[in-house]
Chains A and B, each alone.
Chain A
Amino acid sequence: MPQNDTIQDLGLDEYQYHFITEDEPVFRSGRGLNEKVVREISAQKDEPEWMLEFRLKALEIYNAKPMPTWGGDLSNLENVLDEIYFYVRPQEKMERSWDDVPPNIKETFERLGIPEAEQKVLAGVGAQYESEMVYHSLKKEWDEKGVIFDSIEDGLKNHPELFREHFGTVIPSADNKFSAMNSAVWSGGSFVYIPKGVELDTPLQAYFRVNQEQMGQFERTLIIADEGSKAHYIEGCTAPVYSTESFHSGVIEIVVKPGAHFRYTTIQNWSNNMYNLVTQRALVHENATMEWLDGNLGSKLTMKYPSCYLMGEGAHGSILSIAYSGDGQHQDTGGKVIHAAPNTTSQIVSKSISKGTGRSTYRGLCQVHEGAINSKSNVECDALLINDTSRTDTYPYIEIEEKKSNIGHEATVSKVGDEQLFYLMSRGMDEAEAMALIVRGFIEPIAKLLPLEYAVELNRLIELEMEGSVG
């Protein structure tokens, strides 16, 4: 029996992003969530009346909805929520030029490698620090083609009609308790519009950083990919490790219009004291394609199930999910596909690794409505367990109302095989190397789908977290 402890050397558990930036925000709400905080946020943002009403209504819904009793352990969450700051404004205004970003914030992002990545390969970069986007830029060529890549606040200000047409339509406030919370206190996030027929050959990237202790980040992103367009959006998330718990609850709404192709990649590497409860959903119209690529490496508890509502004939949805749960972590992730139109196809592939006392849960839904004939869906889940204290669960929901459909689900759970280890060690590898190679092999089918050609930064994250230094 091999000593699974050697996997400690994989570097999977070393958190690279623990550093605290000393700074003083320009505005900070009181602790906890109440009407006053919501009004303050709205006033700080100088919002139109309808948005304040939207927020207040959402607060009511939030207060009325019970805390979920499924998924991860939320028993201490109410205490956490009482203590956190729901809104922290780090600087007066968002900058368009990197040089204008305040030095301490700039330094933070430089340590995360943002300007570097931007220069090399990205079409646009956004950076959120605490509750606000502090920086947003888009390459000129895309700006000229009418691409909008802005903070969500500027989206509301500068494109009020387009904004209002779609905001809150994909994920209504009442969808769940945390979408209601986000709708009440949202701040930061991106507003993206890709015009008809425009194909971005390099991705847009957004970084989310929580620096303050005991704060909640509630970014809200609205993306509209117009007919026949194509784009890729990447988000990365990090925070320092504090002894108290923090909270992140985003809402990501995406409209993929006919024939468009949109990919949304998340590399979530929050520190292990973060609750990460996110609602992500895409409406996918005729012959459009939506791809979620969801990497969950950090946080204390993540509950996140990116979903594709296949609304138009021929729509395709794909969800690829990698989860890594180390000691004390629970990744409760998965995906949802709803087939509401004929000839729609979907695929969910989920791979998880649980180590130490980590727990990885796949939770998914595949629903085929009556009339969605010739729908095809395939779900595959693989779980790798490293220690005898690790845990994995699989909870797929398959709801089929249409006979002319073809739906499959498969899952396997395995451990790193003694034979595999023995073979590699007989070839001269030490145990840690052999273990690392097997783990890499396990995630490779997804890792190779990552956009290697442009996401230098993304790959660096993946390498650090998934492969790490061995021996």
Chain B
Amino acid sequence: MAQSTTLDEPIGGLMEGVTDSLNSDLVQSRATGEPEWLRNRRLDAWASYERTPMPTTRLEEWRYTDLSRKLSLDALTPMEWSERAFDRESAPARMAEAMEADHESSGHVVEIDGTVAHVDLDADLAAKGVVLTSLRSAVEDHPELLEEYLATRALPADRGKFQALNAALWTDGIFLHVPRGVRLEHPVRVTRWLSEEGKALFSRTLIVAAEASQVSYVDEILSDDMEVQSLVSSAVEVFAGNGAQVQYVSLQRLGHGPFHLSQQRTIAGKDATLDTLNVNMGATTARLDLNAQLLGSGANSDMLGLCFGEGDQHFDHNTSQDHVAPHAYSDLLYKGALDGRARSVFRGIIKVHKGAQQTDAYQTNRNLLLSEEARADSLPNLEIEADDVRCSHGATVGQLDQDHLFYLMSRGLSRTEAERLVVIGFLGEVLSKLPLGGVVEKISRAVEAKLNV
């Protein structure tokens, strides 16, 4: 047969995404003065970045998000680490407001432009051995834990282009370690602020919850609206040891302008519960890659997500329920409401590996289109290689339920009010499944604010 010549351009090549500012010199400078293991990890990650082609829409996982149009790496300069102090009095209004709305907590972290500026932790918890610190300090103080967990088992550089980029270039981040059996009554609350335009910011979060411990972690990121794109890359690794109970909540409330790239991997041990909530309200483009691995038998993950898009916002959620162990349970519910020309993509997969018998896995994606130009794409996938499982998935795309609207209007509400109420009710279902102090109110208010625009 005649040799096929391809019409399509080849899928990428070497050195894609290496720019004048994001290059091996930068990696070298970041690695300067670091312990050898970390230095090598950065260099390996950079090598992996260089040889991995830039994702294109020809890849299933990037089918609906065209990076060549959404992200201008060439225009970005790296955000550098610098000593910073946090002063609540002079904090930007949006940031101060967000922090005020936080209820009681076990500890706080404030990160500004990729540098941790403030950490406090309940003294009793510190005495019990809980560690809450910047990733930079953790390299000094807890090298054995970091060497074991940082960019190794959860988000190693070879998992993908951007995993590699973050592992090579991170400036700082947060490290939380909860020792065996220690339970935190209140959430750890993290506030991250972005102030600069035209930057590429790389931050990491590492949460290690040992056996039978318990912790909730709320990770909020904010900024004002920006004219020029910044890239915020967040790599989040969460480990729940046997029987541990962990909640990770991400509230993405960046202003207009930034591209938020959130890569999360959760690994749940035997009988552990590891729940996540991802709220996407802000940024111009927000991409979430979440892989929840059920590694121990009897592990349990609720995966919740909601987004509200307007204007030209583009949200792309790529989730994976990765059932390795038998007798594990995962339940995903992602909901999106889209106004203006906003677009949401949900691509989820339930992967049941051979031998993961008695798996229960569910996946639901529901979308509400509020305007003529909004668009929703949904790809709820299943790959099942064990026979004794219960799996189901469902996806819907629709408009506001006319019966609901009619009912509310018959009670005297105006159409606008009725619509607001129905949207809040639609998204509220997600929040009601993870009732964490402060989070529900904060998100409800943010949704209402968007609806009032």
Query: Are A and B part of the same complex?
Result: yes
Contact surface of A with B, Cβ cutoff 8 Å: 4, 32-34, 63-67, 70, 78, 81-82, 368, 370, 383, 385-415
Q: Which residues of A contact B376 (CB under 8 A)?
A: 398, 400
Query: Is B71 at the interface (CB under 8 A from chain A)?
Result: no
Closest A residue, CB atoms, query B388: A415
A66-B377 contact in complex given A391-B383, A400-B397, A409-B395, C-beta closer than 8 Å:
no
Query: Is B452 at the interface (CB under 8 A from chain A)?
Result: no
Contact surface of B with A, Cβ cutoff 8 Å: 1-2, 4-8, 60, 354-355, 357, 367, 369-399
Please determine whether A391 and B384 come into contact, CB atoms closer than 8 angstroms.
yes
Q: Which residues of A contact B397 (CB under 8 A)?
A: 368, 398, 400, 405-407
Please determine whether B384 and A411 come into contact, CB atoms closer than 8 angstroms.
no
Please determine whether A385 and B4 come into contact, CB atoms closer than 8 angstroms.
no
Assembled-state Cα–Cα distance A388/B359 (Å): 13
A393-B377 contact in complex given A66-B6, A66-B8, C-beta closer than 8 Å:
no
Closest A residue, CB atoms, query B367: A400
Please determine whether B391 and A401 come into contact, CB atoms closer than 8 angstroms.
no
Assembled-state Cα–Cα distance A1/B249 (Å): 40
- Give the shortest distance, in Å, between A392 (CB) and chain B (any CB): 5
A394-B382 contact in complex given A64-B7, A405-B397, C-beta closer than 8 Å:
yes
- Among candidates A387, A398, A403, A409, residue contacting B369 with C-beta atoms closer than 8 Å: A403
A-B contact pairs, 28 of them (CB 8 A): A63-B5, A64-B6, A64-B7, A65-B7, A70-B60, A368-B397, A383-B384, A385-B387, A386-B387, A388-B354, A394-B382, A395-B381, A396-B379, A398-B377, A398-B379, A402-B372, A403-B369, A403-B370, A404-B399, A405-B399, A406-B396, A406-B398, A407-B396, A408-B395, A410-B393, A411-B394, A413-B389, A413-B390
Q: Which residues of A contact B394 (CB under 8 A)?
A: 408-411
Assembled-state Cα–Cα distance A64/B2 (Å): 10
Please determine whether A393 and B383 come into contact, CB atoms closer than 8 angstroms.
yes
Q: Which residues of B contact A401 (CB under 8 A)?
A: 375
Please determine whether B4 and A411 come into contact, CB atoms closer than 8 angstroms.
no
Closest A residue, CB atoms, query B355: A388
A399-B390 contact in complex given A64-B5, A394-B382, C-beta closer than 8 Å:
no
Q: Which residues of A contact B8 (CB under 8 A)?
A: 66
Please determine whether A63 and B2 come into contact, CB atoms closer than 8 angstroms.
yes
- Give the shortest distance, in Å, between A396 (CB) and chain B (any CB): 6
Closest B residue, CB atoms, query A383: B384
Please determine whether A409 and B396 come into contact, CB atoms closer than 8 angstroms.
yes
- Give the shortest distance, in Å, between A195 (CB) and chain B (any CB): 40
Assembled-state Cα–Cα distance A419/B374 (Å): 46
Please determine whether A403 and B374 come into contact, CB atoms closer than 8 angstroms.
yes
Assembled-state Cα–Cα distance A34/B1 (Å): 7
Closest B residue, CB atoms, query A31: B1
Please determine whether A413 and B382 come into contact, CB atoms closer than 8 angstroms.
yes
Closest B residue, CB atoms, query A1: B388
Assembled-state Cα–Cα distance A78/B2 (Å): 10
- Give the shortest distance, in Å, between B152 (CB) and chain A (any CB): 30
Q: Which residues of A contact B398 (CB under 8 A)?
A: 405-407
- Give the shortest distance, in Å, between B9 (CB) and chain A (any CB): 11
Please determine whether B391 and A413 come into contact, CB atoms closer than 8 angstroms.
yes
Q: Which residues of A contact B391 (CB under 8 A)?
A: 411-413
Closest B residue, CB atoms, query A410: B394
Assembled-state Cα–Cα distance A386/B376 (Å): 35
Assembled-state Cα–Cα distance A370/B373 (Å): 8
- Give the shortest distance, in Å, between B323 (CB) and chain A (any CB): 12
Please determine whether A388 and B399 come into contact, CB atoms closer than 8 angstroms.
no
Please determine whether A67 and B378 come into contact, CB atoms closer than 8 angstroms.
no
- Give the shortest distance, in Å, between A334 (CB) and chain B (any CB): 12
Please determine whether A412 and B392 come into contact, CB atoms closer than 8 angstroms.
yes
Assembled-state Cα–Cα distance A243/B210 (Å): 56
Q: Which residues of B contact A405 (CB under 8 A)?
A: 369, 397-399
Closest A residue, CB atoms, query B8: A66
A396-B4 contact in complex given A388-B388, A415-B389, C-beta closer than 8 Å:
no
Please determine whether A409 and B380 come into contact, CB atoms closer than 8 angstroms.
yes
Assembled-state Cα–Cα distance A37/B331 (Å): 55
- Give the shortest distance, in Å, between A327 (CB) and chain B (any CB): 14
Assembled-state Cα–Cα distance A65/B7 (Å): 6
Assembled-state Cα–Cα distance A391/B355 (Å): 12
Assembled-state Cα–Cα distance A391/B350 (Å): 13
A-B pairs with lowest CB-CB distance, top 4? A403-B369, A385-B387, A394-B382, A398-B378
Please determine whether B387 and A65 come into contact, CB atoms closer than 8 angstroms.
no
- Give the shortest distance, in Å, between A465 (CB) and chain B (any CB): 21
Please determine whether A63 and B357 come into contact, CB atoms closer than 8 angstroms.
no
Q: Which residues of A contact B388 (CB under 8 A)?
A: 388, 415
A32-B386 contact in complex given A66-B6, A396-B380, C-beta closer than 8 Å:
no
- Among candidates B357, B377, B384, B399, residue contacting A413 with C-beta atoms closer than 8 Å: B384
Q: Which residues of B contact A385 (CB under 8 A)?
A: 384, 386-387, 389
Closest B residue, CB atoms, query A177: B4
- Give the shortest distance, in Å, between B98 (CB) and chain A (any CB): 31
Q: Which residues of A contact B372 (CB under 8 A)?
A: 370, 402-403
Please determine whether B377 and A403 come into contact, CB atoms closer than 8 angstroms.
no
Q: Which residues of B contact A370 (CB under 8 A)?
A: 372-373
Please determine whether B384 and A392 come into contact, CB atoms closer than 8 angstroms.
yes
- Among candidates A63, A398, A411, residue contacting B382 with C-beta atoms closer than 8 Å: A411
Please determine whether A403 and B371 come into contact, CB atoms closer than 8 angstroms.
yes
Closest B residue, CB atoms, query A382: B392
Closest A residue, CB atoms, query B373: A370
Q: Which residues of A contact B7 (CB under 8 A)?
A: 64-66
Assembled-state Cα–Cα distance A63/B1 (Å): 9
Please determine whether B387 and A387 come into contact, CB atoms closer than 8 angstroms.
yes
Which of A34, A78, A394, A410 has the most CB atoms of chain B within a 10 A radius of its CB? Answer: A394
A388-B377 contact in complex given A65-B4, A396-B395, A407-B397, C-beta closer than 8 Å:
no
Assembled-state Cα–Cα distance A189/B379 (Å): 35
Assembled-state Cα–Cα distance A385/B382 (Å): 13
Assembled-state Cα–Cα distance A2/B384 (Å): 20
- Give the shortest distance, in Å, between B370 (CB) and chain A (any CB): 7
Please determine whether B379 and A395 come into contact, CB atoms closer than 8 angstroms.
yes
Q: Which residues of B contact A70 (CB under 8 A)?
A: 60
